[in-house]
Amino acid sequence: MEVKILEETKKKVIIELDNQTIAGLVERELWNDEHVRISGLKAKHPLIGKPTLVVETDGKEDAKKAVKEAIARSKKDLEKFKKAFK
């Protein structure tokens, strides 16, 4: 999977991914973080464009750290889901 950071500051990160599903999963999980003020996706076209994830925090948490933690929480949720089918 290709991941490209287009912009990064302490409060904001913009990331281009090549997977709409993963981008959507992380984008939704970010809303569970109390320090995240903006979490959204934009894409030129859902089938052919690369999605861009935009994350902005209140400054009390680093935006890149918020993304990493959202990925970790998503991974835990997916493991629980996987175990349900064993």
For the segment 34-64, what is each residue's pLDDT rounded down to a tens digit? 999 999 999 887 677 899 999 999 999 999 9
**SS3 for 49?**
coil
- Checking if the pLDDT of 66 tops 80, the result is yes
Contact 17, 28 (CB under 8 A): no
Please report, for the chain, the start and end positions of each structural domain, with discontinuous segments joined by +. Answer: 3-83
Residue type (1 letter), 16: E
Give the pLDDT confidence score for residue 45 in this predicted structure: 77
In CATH, what class is 3-83?
alpha beta
Instruction: Identify any residues that bridge with 40 across adjacent strands, giving them in sequence order.
Output: 54
Contact 54, 42 (CB under 8 A): yes
Q: Share the mean pLDDT of the chain.
A: 93
- Checking if the pLDDT of 85 tops 90, the result is no
Distance between CA 9 and CA 12 in Å, rounded? 5
Distance between CA 30 and CA 72 in Å, rounded? 11
